[in-house]
Structure 1
Amino acid sequence: MATRALILVEGSPTGSGLLFIQAAQRLGFHPITLSSDPAQYDYLAAETYEAVRVDTSNLDALIRECSDLGATYDIAGITSSLEAFYATIGKLCRHFNLPGPNPTSIERCCDKFVQRQLLAEAGVPIPAYRLAADGKDVESSVAEIGLPVVLKPAVGAGSVGVRLCRDADEVAEHTSYLLDGKHTWGCSPRILVEEFAQGPLYFAAIMGNEVVGIGAAEYDPPPHFVFRECTFPALLTDDEHERIADVSLSCLRALDLGWGPKSIELRWTKRGPVVIEVNPRLGGAPTPQLVKLAYGVDLVTQHIKLVIGDEPNLQKRHSQIAAVRSLIADRDGTLDWIDGDSRATAVSGVAEVKLHVKPKTPIVRKGDYRDRIGYVIAASPTLARTKVILQRAVNLISWSITPFDV
């Protein structure tokens, strides 16, 4: 009998790629990663997980590779931990008659302007928005919406190219950044100009049509959107939880996203929950770890069950307060040293300490997810206790960065 394999398209150096491999193995599958550059993932080499080099931007190349692998393995499912490849995953799954997302729905959702249009048509509360192709469009859009605004690429993830602009100078500066060759576009430049929805930030973790949990999050100080802390579950009243869940599920209907995992970002404003973004995939690490610690639900494992055609089990097994704190570089330069992670790991209540960088690494802050050089996760029965544990562990980690001009 052929070995059952789970195909993973690309992974994540700092995200959920390894979690998918480990979960696949626990379920009895042989994980195979298809990547244009397998060497970028340290965990593949460290544990000798199987990887195949292939042009993952080429659907035909992926189909050929999966067909070749099918001659040796029984391919049980195909998936990815990355949003950028999720529409491709849907197309691969349809080609091989495997369970997967609707690629048309994914493509529409990943275009933030189209997503906004569909949500607005369905009456889902969202910020005011306009689409701009050049500086003149941006100026007129800002005039219509009013400052402050958020400027972001219409297609992208991880807050790359996203900035809060509080005055005309910041608008001009970021418009120049996006349009004058400093930002890398995978398509023709299209800028989304959005009203800045102000209020507490929440995330809904969803599998299928079920809201598994709602977390509260905070960003580092503006103008960028770099995650500093996230807590599951958020401390909400029953009414607040119900309203966020209802709005989240209305997004799924508007975008035809009934299958698989989703992560929805919302802010609680003066008019209640307002949808900032719908991500048609599992929230990146460490969201799966937080949900597992908080509720006992392993979203990665349940996602893989969906991928192979099984029913996921989303029953909550326990209740804790889990929180993560990002470790964020405070300057550009060369990382001289970083330590204290082993001491932090030893703190009672700490679930995980992860460092993304090693000494002598150049640190160049981008104002997005790449600014996080690690994280610490803690969990306990109460929010107060979890925050104490988290702070104690974070205080044990230190580093030194020498500026480039020194």
Structure 2
Amino acid sequence: MTRRALIFVEGSRSNGPLYVEAAQRLCLHPVTLAADPAKYGYLAAEALESIRVDTDNLDALIRECSHLRRTYNIAGITGFSNPDESVYATVGKLCRHFDLPGPNPVSIERCCDKFVQRQLLAEAGVPIPAYRLATNATEVESSAAEIGLPVVLKPAVGGISGTGVRLCRNVDELAEHTTYLLAGKHIWRSSPRILVEEFAQGPHYSAHIMGNEVIGIVAAEFGHPPHFVFRGFTFPALLTDDEHARIADLSLRCLRALGLGWGPTGVEFRWTKHGPVVIEVNPRLSGPPDPQMIKLACGIDLIAEHTKLVVGEQWDLHRSRSHAAAARILVPDRDGTLDWIDGDSQAAAVPGIAEVKLFVKPEALIVMKGDNRDEIGHVIAVSSSLAQTAAILQHAVDLIRWSITPLPTAGKQEQSRPHSTTPSRDAT
């Protein structure tokens, strides 16, 4: 009998290994097609099959999948955003070509262009921040003046993990980030197009959807402005029944406006003084720690159920428990060389801690980018109540410490000192 294979377009340091495990539990052989398979350490570590191919070239991907069909029965195709979400549209096109279950590529492409996404949401009456599209510094300046400072600048296409996204609170910050985006420091896959957006102030929430069902809502906290770097998450979000219903209803309105509704979708909100405002719709599953928290709290394994959908099997979105989960993101406070990091074993041994992961090792070079790539680890806790979970999580993160020696500046090197993981409560 021909072996069934699941094709992954590109990989992911975070969700990649989890999808591989889900595929193997379904007796599927995972095969990764990537422009540079060496970027994904788990492929070599687990001796997983991978093939080097230009993943921006649809014809090349079709040829490679056609070649693989001589050896395997391709049960499904899915992928991961790298370096932007265009891969999801490519996956949709591959699925259409090989008559496999998959998302609508046209809907994905419209959603991945943040300017087009906002136009469609606005036409459907979905509350969103005021926005303008700019292609040069003059247009950025005039757009910000029309909207009023502070504004958020972000690439109209891309911006995965928050890359290129910044809050500009005054004209100096506006000019600085405009220069960064237009002067070649930000990598554009096409002509530069910048979204200038009103800064919607209020608590941040993410609705996680599978198909047309809202699975749950996660609350998130950010670190210091002007960057939007996640520091903590809580699931389920502490909302009233009415607030939960309003976010859920608005999430489904977003799906209808954008033509989505197949597989996973994430909708990000700010709860402003006028109520919930949609910040972004992502036609994909969020990265950790959200899927892990949802699985721990309500028993739904989003990665496993999405994998079933991809290969045409029936998924199960039944909730099997009602717990509370929370996560803390470990983020350094400076550039430099990581001298040491420890306490992860002690933190993992704390009752109620479900996961402790570190993504760096001693002697690693730390260069902060001002986005979610700054994450050096995370801790996830679960218990029967939010209060208890918060206490467990704080106890565990207090056990993790590290030391970073700053890079020399002007011939002077700052004294290295230990760093606590306790975050500031200031949030954008």
Could you say whether these structures have the same fold, taking a TM-score greater than 0.5 normalized by the shorter chain as the test?
Answer: yes
Equivalent position SS for 1:285: coil
Equivalent position SS for 1:304: helix
Corresponding residue for 1:395? 398
Note the 1:33-48 alignment, pairs <5 A. Answer: 33-48=32-47
Q: Which amino acid in the other structure matches residue 106 of structure 1?
A: I
2:19 paired with 1:20 = yes
Deviation at 1:300, TM superposition (A): 0.5
2:242 paired with 1:239 = yes
Q: Is the 8 A contact 1:218 1:230 kept in 2?
A: yes
Deviates more, 1:17-26 or 1:392-401: 392-401
Corresponding residue for 1:341? 344
Separation of aligned partners in 2, 1:323 and 1:357: 22
Corresponding residue for 1:127? 129
Match of 1:111 among 110, 113, 126: 113
Deviation sequence 1:190-213 (CA, Å, 0-9, x none) = 110000001111000000000000
Spell out structure 1 runs of 4+ moving beyond 3 A. none
Equivalent position SS for 2:74: strand
Deviation at 1:393, TM superposition (A): 1.1
Match of 1:228 among 228, 231, 236: 231
Corresponding residue for 1:303? 306
Q: Is the 8 A contact 1:328 1:373 kept in 2?
A: yes
Q: Is the 8 A contact 1:81 1:284 kept in 2?
A: no
Deviation at 1:342, TM superposition (A): 1.2
Equivalent position SS for 1:215: strand
Separation of aligned partners in 1, 2:7 and 2:43: 14
Equivalent position SS for 1:278: strand
Percent identical among aligned pairs is 70
Deviation at 1:106, TM superposition (A): 0.5
Deviation sequence 1:155-196 (CA, Å, 0-9, x none) = 111110000011111111111111111111111111100000
Q: Which amino acid in the other structure matches residue 155 of structure 1?
A: V
Deviation at 1:78, TM superposition (A): 0.2
Q: Is the 8 A contact 2:207 2:216 kept in 1?
A: yes
Note the 1:209-220 alignment, pairs <5 A. Answer: 209-220=212-223
Deviates more, 1:235-244 or 1:54-63: 54-63
Corresponding residue for 1:55? 54
Q: Is the 8 A contact 2:218 2:290 kept in 1?
A: no
Separation of aligned partners in 2, 1:197 and 1:369: 20
Equivalent position SS for 2:162: coil
2:315 paired with 1:312 = yes
Q: Is the 8 A contact 2:339 2:405 kept in 1?
A: yes
Equivalent position SS for 1:109: helix
Q: For this pair of structures, how many residues does the alignment match?
A: 405
Deviation at 1:305, TM superposition (A): 1.1
Gaps of 5+ in 2: 414-428
Q: Which amino acid in the other structure matches residue 382 of structure 1?
A: S
Deviation sequence 1:85-127 (CA, Å, 0-9, x none) = 1011001000100010111111110000000000000000000
Deviation sequence 1:198-240 (CA, Å, 0-9, x none) = 1111000000000000010011111000010011110111100
Separation of aligned partners in 2, 1:44 and 1:341: 24
Deviation at 1:310, TM superposition (A): 2.0
Q: Which amino acid in the other structure matches residue 11 of structure 1?
A: G
Deviates more, 1:354-363 or 1:112-121: 354-363
2:65 paired with 1:66 = yes
Normalised TM-score (structure 2):
0.93
Deviation at 1:12, TM superposition (A): 1.1
2:194 paired with 1:191 = yes
Alpha-carbon RMSD: 0.9
Deviation at 1:48, TM superposition (A): 1.2
Corresponding residue for 1:326? 329
Separation of aligned partners in 2, 1:190 and 1:317: 45
Corresponding residue for 2:422? none
Deviates more, 1:15-24 or 1:33-42: 33-42
Normalised TM-score (structure 1):
0.98
Deviation at 1:84, TM superposition (A): 3.8
Q: Which amino acid in the other structure matches residue 200 of structure 2?
A: A
Deviation at 1:58, TM superposition (A): 1.3
Separation of aligned partners in 1, 2:255 and 2:370: 29
Deviation sequence 1:5-35 (CA, Å, 0-9, x none) = 111111112x100110000111111111111
Q: Is the 8 A contact 1:34 1:53 kept in 2?
A: yes
Equivalent position SS for 2:12: coil
